[in-house]
């Protein structure tokens, strides 16, 4: 059996049809944490690729046509392409190329494998292992857990204020696999400890001067905002117009924390963003501002957002704007769930 991805031991509770042992396997907690700290290669055997193809064939989404992702055979990257890294105006920056970590620089930035032993690494490993229990995941979230090559951790210690010096996370993609759709599965974990502040600037775009190519980007970003902490998150998606882009952003907000999110998406033939925010304590603040532009024929942009309020005195504000041109299709499904316990406290 090939070496597992860093997350395969703690993922894929959404079972693939007739799942192979790799996807069913569950390790004890201590062993799972040990595997998470290794820089394991991607799962790239034919069995997993076949299961992904079968699952795509069987899957349907209520509003989103994902047939484009079935139009070509799927391949996984074996190494980072030989392209010049993009320049960043920020001191702290990260560069993924086709889902493979090329560089990570900054005071609070590290790959999971390079985190030194201690509390930060233990917590990162525990959070990633716990992602297997995420109840709202779909097939794309599980595909990322199986195919991820590298995990980057942004860990801001208690009381550190770094919102004015953001971490710039750049994801570049190529069409280096002729005759197939190259699938990338980068993953980022952001932890802002108690009373800390951090800014995240996240960009996804095609590499090279032509800015074209057929590929499939399937990133996941998990953000944990501890008590009294603040995260400012900017997200720009300007992929090739021949690309598929399926993304998850999962946010957990503790007591008196604040999460501010701004998104601009203009690229990709098929773009789907699942934005999931869950309140873990009272008096949280959540702001979401998003803009989607579909300027190409048969281009699909889909935003599914979910905010779950389990505690009192949570404040939220959401603004979504979209422009659809020609035969472009823009989809928005915004869901705010106020659970029964909160309702009882209000009345």
* 3-class SS string, the chain: CCCCCCCHHHCCCCCCCCCCHHHHCCCCHHHHHHHHCCCCCCCCCHHHHHHHHHHHHHCCCCCCCCHHHHCCCEECCCCCCCCCCCCCCCCEEEEEECCEEEEEECCCEEECCCCCCCHHHHHHHHHHHHHHHCCCCCHHHHHHHHHCCCEEEEEECCCCEEEEEEEEEEEEECCCCCCCEEEECCEEEEEECCCCEEEEEEEEEECCCCCCCCEEECCEEEEEECCCCEEEEEEEEECCCCCEEEEEEEEEECCCCEEEEEEEECCCCEEEEEEEEEECCCCCEEEEEEEEEECCCCCEEEEEEEEEECCCCCEEEEEEEEEECCCCEEEEEEEEEECHHHHHHHC
pTM of the model: 0.84
The lowest-confidence range among 50-64, 84-98, 259-273 is 50-64
pLDDT at 39: 36
On the question of pLDDT at 12 being above 60, the answer is no
Q: What percent of the chain has pLDDT over 90?
A: 59
pLDDT band of residue 177 (cuts 50, 70, 90) is low
pLDDT at 77: 86
Mean pLDDT of the chain: 83
Q: What is the pLDDT of residues 276-314, one digit of tens each?
A: 999 999 999 999 999 999 999 889 999 999 999 989 889
On the question of pLDDT at 16 being above 60, the answer is no
pLDDT at 118: 93
Q: What is the pLDDT of residues 111-167, one digit of tens each?
A: 999 999 999 999 999 999 999 889 999 889 999 998 899 999 999 999 999 999 999
pLDDT at 246: 96
On the question of pLDDT at 38 being above 70, the answer is no
pLDDT at 27: 29
């Amino acid at each position: 059996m090939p070496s597992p991805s860093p997350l395969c031991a703690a993922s894929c509770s959404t079972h693939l049809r007739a799942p192979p042992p790799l996807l069913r396997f569950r390790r004890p907690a201590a062993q799972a944490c040990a595997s998470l700290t290794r820089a394991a290669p991607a799962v790239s055997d034919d069995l997993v690729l076949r299961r992904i193809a079968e699952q795509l064939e069987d899957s349907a989404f209520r509003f989103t046509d994902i047939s484009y992702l079935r139009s070509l055979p799927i391949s996984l990257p074996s190494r980072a392409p030989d392209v010049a890294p993009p320049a960043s105006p920020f001191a702290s920056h990260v560069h993924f190329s086709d889902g493979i970590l090329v560089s990570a620089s900054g005071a609070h930035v590290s790959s999971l494998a390079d985190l030194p032993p201690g509390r930060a690494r233990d917590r990162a490993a525990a959070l990633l292992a716990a992602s297997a229990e995420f109840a709202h995941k779909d097939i794309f979230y599980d595909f990322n857990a199986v195919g991820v090559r590298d995990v980057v951790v942004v860990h801001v210690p208690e009381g550190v204020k770094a919102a004015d010096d953001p971490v710039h996370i750049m994801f570049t993609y190529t069409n280096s696999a002729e005759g197939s759709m190259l699938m990338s599965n980068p993953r980022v974990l952001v932890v802002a400890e108690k009373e800390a502040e951090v800014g995240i600037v996240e960009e996804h775009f095609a590499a090279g001067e032509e800015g074209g190519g057929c590929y499939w980007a399937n990133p996941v970003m998990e953000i944990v905002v501890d008590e009294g902490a603040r995260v400012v998150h900017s997200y720009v998606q300007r992929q090739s117009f021949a690309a598929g882009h399926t993304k998850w952003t999962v946010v957990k907000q503790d007591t008196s924390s604040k999460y501010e999110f701004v998104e601009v998406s203009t690229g990709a033939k098929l773009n789907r963003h699942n934005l999931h925010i869950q309140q873990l304590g009272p008096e949280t603040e959540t702001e979401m501002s998003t803009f989607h532009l579909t300027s190409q024929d048969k281009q699909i942009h889909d935003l599914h957002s979910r905010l779950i309020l389990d505690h009192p005195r949570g404040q939220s504000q959401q603004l979504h704007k979209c422009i659809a041109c020609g035969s472009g299709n823009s989809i928005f499904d915004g869901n705010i769930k106020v659970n029964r316990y909160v309702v009882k406290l209000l009345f």
